[in-house]
Amino acid sequence: MIKFENVSKKFPDGTVALEDLTLEINDGEFVFLVGPSGAGKTTILKLILREILPNSGTILVDEHDLKKISGGKVVQLRRKIGCVFQDLKLLPDRSILENVALSLWVLGKNAREVEAESKEKLELVGLAGKGDFFPAQLSGGELQRAAIARALAGNPKYLLADEPTGNVDDENGWKIVKILEKINEDGTTVVMATHNPEFVDKLHKRVVRLKDGKIISDRRGKYRE
C-alpha cells in the first residue's frame, strides 16, 4: 500500500507542488494521476520513489515511513518500485537487452537468470527481436516499451509511469497503455501520470484529478466528469 497523509511539498524557489494532500493506493490498483502541468503529478511519483522528501506530512510505502528510512532500506524499497521516466534514461551506448540486464545485475542475479529475464521482459513488451538494437535505432514507441521492460526487471511490486505516452502517436500510445494494463492484471500496482483523456476514458480505472497540488476529485471513471 502507498499512503500519503497530509503531505505538503514546497521547492526552494517557492513553488508549492503539493498542499496537505492525502491519498491511499491499495495493492493491485491501477491509478491515473491527471491534471494540468504543475498540478503535482510528477512530484507524487518522485516522493513515492524517495527522490525527494516532503516538507510536512507522512508517506508510507509498505508500512515504511519514507522520512525515517535511509541507506540500505532505501535501496531495498526502490527494488520494489519500477519507474518509467519522461526522459526514459536508457543508456545510449548499451543495447536494449543490456539496458534491461543492468537492473538485474544490480539485484545480484547470475548470468543465466539475467539473460532469461531480460529476454522475457522484452518479449512482454513486444520487443523480442530488438534486444541487440541500440536506443538510436528504435522508434519513439519502441523506446517507451524498452523503458517499461527495464522498469519491470526484477518484478517490482509497484510501477510508476510518468507520461509514458506523451511523446508517441496514438497507436503506439495505446500499445503502451495495454501493456501497463496487462502488467496490472498480473498483480503489479500501476500509478500513471498522464495528460491524455482518450486512454483514461477507455480503461475506466481510478482517476485522481489534481490541481495546484490538491486533489479535486478521486473516482473510478473518465478523465473529465
Coil, strand or helix at 182: helix
| Ranges in the chain annotated CATH 3.40.50.300 | 1-80+157-225
- 1-80+157-225 has CATH 3.30.365.10 classification: no
Q: Which helix (H) or strand (E) element contains residue 16?
A: strand 16-25
Which residues are within 8 A (CB) of 130 and not within 5 positions of it... i.e. 6 or more apart? 96, 122, 138, 142, 146
Return the residue matching grid coordinates 534491461: 100
* pLDDT (mean) for 185-201: 93
DSSP 53: -
Give residue 167's pLDDT. Answer: 79
Q: Mind listing the pLDDT tens digit for each residue in 128-180?
A: 999 999 999 999 999 999 999 999 999 999 999 999 988 788 888 899 999 99
* pLDDT (mean) for 212-218: 96
Give residue 198's pLDDT. Answer: 87
pLDDT score of 195 more than 70: yes
Distances 172 to 44, 126, 141 between C-alpha atoms, Å: 26, 11, 5
Pairing outcome for strands 158-162 and 30-34:
unpaired
What is the full DSSP assignment across 26-51?
-TT-EEEEE-STTSSHHHHHHHHTTS
Burial class (CB in 10 A: 0-12, 13-18, 19+), 185: exposed
pLDDT score of 4 more than 80: yes
Q: Mind listing the pLDDT tens digit for each residue in 79-128?
A: 999 999 888 889 999 999 999 999 899 888 899 999 999 999 999 999 99
Which cell is 121 given?
Answer: 521482459
What type of residue is 113?
E
Please state the pTM of the whole predicted model: 0.93
Return the residue matching grid coordinates 473518465: 222
Give residue 42's pLDDT. Answer: 95
First to last CA, the chain: 27
Q: Mind listing the pLDDT tens digit for each residue in 6-51?
A: 999 999 999 999 999 999 999 999 999 999 999 999 999 999 999 9
Return the residue matching grid coordinates 492484471: 185
What is d(CA 104, CA 99) in angstroms, rounded to the nearest whole number? 10
**Rounded (5°) CA angle 215-216-220:** 90
Confidence of residue 225 (pLDDT cuts 50, 70, 90): low
